Every structure is written in C-alpha cells, then in structure tokens.
Amino acid sequence: MRNFQPSETLKGLPEQFFAKLVQKVQNLINDGHDVINLGQGNPDLPTPDHIVESLQMTVNDPQNHKYPPFRGLPLLKEAICEYYQREYHVDLNPETEVAILFGAKTGLVEISQCLLNPGDIALLPDPGYPDYLSGIALAQAKTVLMPLLTENDFLPDYRLLEKKALDEAKMMFLNYPNNPTSATATKDFFDETVAVAEKHDICVVHDFAYGALGFDGEKQPSFLQSEGAKSIGIEMYTMSKTYNMAGWRVAFAVGNPSVIEHLNTIQDHLYVSLFGAIQHAAAEALTGSQESVKQLVRTYEQRRNTFISRLHDIGWHVKAPKGTFFVWLPVPEGYTSEEFANLLLEKAHVVAAPGNGFGSCGEGYLRIGLLDQEERLAEAVKRIDALGIFKKKQVSSS
C-alpha cells in the first residue's frame, strides 16, 4: 500500500496535547475502572426541550431540505441582533455585521486565514484555547504570547508587551470569561483593549464562548459594549455553552463589517451554510424563553459551591471562579501540572487537564470542568483526599 505524505501545511499544525490524555482515560475505562472525567469542556446536560421541539417541527419543512442561502437565513441573523440588543444593548446590522459559523472552533481557526499572511504576528493569551494556534499555523503566521498571570487576575498586561510586537501585530485573541483560567474581565479592561488596538491597528477577536456563565449575580460584559470596539474587532459566540448545543455546531461572529465579510467569503468557498432546521432552532434559542439559561447558571453555580467547599475541607485552598464551568487549580508543591494530573488519573481515577497543555504559563495549574453531577464532584474530591496530599482544616473544640 502506497504511503502518501502530508502537506507541509498539515505537518505544521500543533500537536494535539490532549490526545494522549484521552487515550489514557480510555485505557482505564476499558480495564473496568470507574473514571470521573472532569478534564473536558463538553457540556453534560441536554439541549432545552423548546429548542429540540423547534428542530423537530422545522426538520419536516421541505424548504429546509434544500441548500440554504450561503450566508445563512435572515431569520437567524435577525435573532442574533435581537439577542445582542436585549442582552448587551449593542446594535448590529444583520446584513453586514453578522456571520453564521459552523461552531466557534471553526470560526476561530478561519479568522487567522482571513487576516494573516505568512510571517504576520498574532497576539495570543498564554494560557489559552489551543485551537487559536491551529489557525495561526495554517496561515503560516507567528505568535507573540501575552502571559495571563495570577497577580494580574489572569488579564494580559499590555504594558509588558514590547512596542515592536504591538506595532507589528495584526490580530489579538482574547477570551473572557476565560478558558482555562475561569477569569472574568471588566468593561474597563475592554475599554483599555480598544485603545491599544486603535493605537496599533490591531484586529481584536474576542472569544465569548462562556458569556452567559457568570456567577454571584454578575453579568459578564460583551467586548462590543466598549465604545469603538466594533470599529477594531469582532466577537465570536457559540450556542454550545449557553444552550447546551455543543453537538449542533452552530455559532456566530458579530462586529466589524470588513472582518465579517472576510469570514463570509472564506465560508462561501467551504460550505453552503448550516442545515436550515438547525438555524430555526438556534433562532428559537436566542429569542425564546431564557429560563433554561438561568437554570443552567444556577446549576453550575451550585456545582461550583459544592466542589470548592469540599476542596477547602480537605485543605486544597482555591479561589471560587466567577465564570465559565471550569475551576483553575494550583497544583501542590513538588509536582508539575502533568505529574499531578497523571497521579489523579492513575491513583484516584479522576481526570483533570494539565495546565501546561494550554501554554507555558499554565504550568503549575490544573483545569477541572464542573461537568458532572454534584455527587460525582464530591466523590472526586473524596478520592483526591484519600491520596493524603493535602492537610485538612483543623476543627477547633469548644
């Protein structure tokens, strides 16, 4: 059998760090072990009934059996505009400022091919979502990393970046609420970002995947709420997290018209838009009752409270996240991220994602997803406690 070699472009893609972890988990499951998998970002709850019912109704419409318009149904684009006006008081033009995406992952890879030429520079958060690198590699561009450090609440400090890097950068990726650190951003930070981007002519791409998942009554701001944001950037929003629609593969980008046009152009060559019935269901999600979203946030918040409380009980002192469904945990002294993740997997059968898989500044941390029932989260902490690594709280006698 002849072995055909991959292209140089394919060989230039970054290694999928978590493929090895997935195989280890599967091996344990195959051996009959009860594994608690908190290492992924795959929502564990079903899509709300009213969204499923919309799909069931519209899937029977013969109009949806044809190719949809290349750039999406006006119905969905108008629903996106309604959503942004209702939730963030941001006005959007459905014709020029909205692009329908085949999941946010696709858009986040495509955007680099839309804006970057070989050798161009993109500013990238470290740690950050690994697929930002995939698009940059396909564009044969370069990265300058922006460290996300605990002392700056995991926000990039633009003052630490060299002027040359800022002057040469064409694009910047941001992501708040943040994966993997679970950090949140303020409107003041986005205002500062707009000022930096305007000064240095940088296109900002804000990944707003966890926008709806803010806790303790705090609503997370959209980047586009900052004055001037639309003139220098876009925001990408996925239906996966807000509406548990991960398998539906539907998302959208909103903002700067020229960037939206570039995204639409590349997709004109790759796709013929999403299945029409899925677009109808997505529109229903955005414009229909939002009670399921409120309940989802309450569920994640309660899971967070249970998990953090149990961690504190065993002596693992961590800060409660303000957003996302992740917890960013400092590893105990004497371990690397990968060593401690391997220990939890092999000895406690608890899966966590090692922080260095998200970038060098992720070393010293683990990412755990609150994507199982409270009982299983509590069981995970119990298993970790049994390893005897942490010093429990001392209960004083009266």
- Nearest residue to 103 via CA among 243, 205, 250: 250
State how far the Cα of 122 lies from the Cα of 120, in Å rounded to an integer: 7
Residue-level pLDDT at 33: 87
Would 322 be classed as within a structural domain? yes
The amino acid present at 227, given as its one-letter code, is E
Does residue 301 sit in the same domain as residue 282? no
Q: Is the pLDDT confidence value at 287 over 50? A: yes
Q: How many domains would you assign to the chain?
A: 2
Does residue 187 sit in the same domain as residue 272? yes
Would 368 be classed as within a structural domain? yes
Residue-level pLDDT at 393: 53
Does residue 320 sit in the same domain as residue 237? no
Q: Which residue has the higher pLDDT, 305 or 12?
A: 305
For residue 49 the two structure tokens come to 């009934």
Would 396 be classed as within a structural domain? no
Query: DSSP assignment, residue 144?
Result: E
Query: DSSP assignment, residue 323?
Result: B
Would 397 be classed as within a structural domain? no
Range of the domain at 217: 50-287
pLDDT digits (tens, 9 = 90+) for 219-251: 999 999 999 999 999 999 999 999 999 999 999
Confidence of residue 392 (pLDDT cuts 50, 70, 90): low
Q: Is the pLDDT confidence value at 398 over 70? A: no
Residue-level pLDDT at 62: 92
Does residue 40 sit in the same domain as residue 70? no
Q: Do the beta carbons of residue 190 and residue 225 sit within 8 Å?
A: yes
Residue-level pLDDT at 21: 77
Q: Is the pLDDT confidence value at 395 over 50? A: no
State how far the Cα of 59 lies from the Cα of 254, in Å rounded to an integer: 27
Compute the average pLDDT of residues 12-36.
83
Does residue 121 sit in the same domain as residue 167? yes
State how far the Cα of 209 lies from the Cα of 87, in Å rounded to an integer: 15
Would 398 be classed as within a structural domain? no
Q: Is the pLDDT confidence value at 391 over 90? A: no
pLDDT digits (tens, 9 = 90+) for 316-361: 989 999 999 999 999 999 999 999 999 999 999 999 999 999 999 9
Q: How many CB atoms lie within 10 A of CB 397?
A: 4
Does residue 249 sit in the same domain as residue 326? no
CATH of the domain at 172: 3.40.640.10
State how far the Cα of 355 lies from the Cα of 352, in Å rounded to an integer: 9
State how far the Cα of 139 lies from the Cα of 67, in Å rounded to an integer: 29
Q: Do the beta carbons of residue 161 and residue 126 sit within 8 Å?
A: no
Confidence of residue 6 (pLDDT cuts 50, 70, 90): confident
Confidence of residue 15 (pLDDT cuts 50, 70, 90): confident
Provide the terminal-to-terminal Cα distance of the chain, rounded to the nearest Å. 78
Does residue 245 sit in the same domain as residue 116? yes
Cis peptide before 14 (omega within 30 of 0): no
pLDDT digits (tens, 9 = 90+) for 68-84: 999 999 999 999 999 99
Residue-level pLDDT at 47: 95
Does residue 13 sit in the same domain as residue 111? no
Does residue 370 sit in the same domain as residue 322? yes
The DSSP line for 196-245 is HHHHHT-EEEEE-TTTT-B-TTPPPPPGGGSTTHHHHEEEEEEHHHHSS-
Does residue 146 sit in the same domain as residue 187? yes
State how far the Cα of 274 lies from the Cα of 107, in Å rounded to an integer: 14
Q: Is the pLDDT confidence value at 17 over 80? A: no
Residue-level pLDDT at 306: 96
Would 89 be classed as within a structural domain? yes
Would 393 be classed as within a structural domain? no
Confidence of residue 396 (pLDDT cuts 50, 70, 90): very low
What mean pLDDT, rounded, does the chain reach? Answer: 94
In the sheet with 121-126, reading across from the earlier edge strand, the strands are 98-101, 251-255, 233-238, 203-207, 169-175, 121-126, 142-147
Compute the average pLDDT of residues 18-40.
85
Domain end (from 287, 313, 335)? 287
Q: Is the pLDDT confidence value at 162 over 60? A: yes
Compute the average pLDDT of residues 166-183.
97
Count helices and strands in the chain by DSSP H and E runs: 15, 12
Q: Is 112 left (phi over 0), alpha (psi -120 to 50) or beta?
A: alpha
Does residue 216 sit in the same domain as residue 228? yes
CATH of the domain at 329: 3.90.1150.10
Domain end (from 265, 287, 309)? 287
Strand partners, 124: 145
Does residue 35 sit in the same domain as residue 160? no
Domain end (from 287, 312, 347)? 287
- Nearest residue to 353 via CA among 334, 378, 376, 328: 328
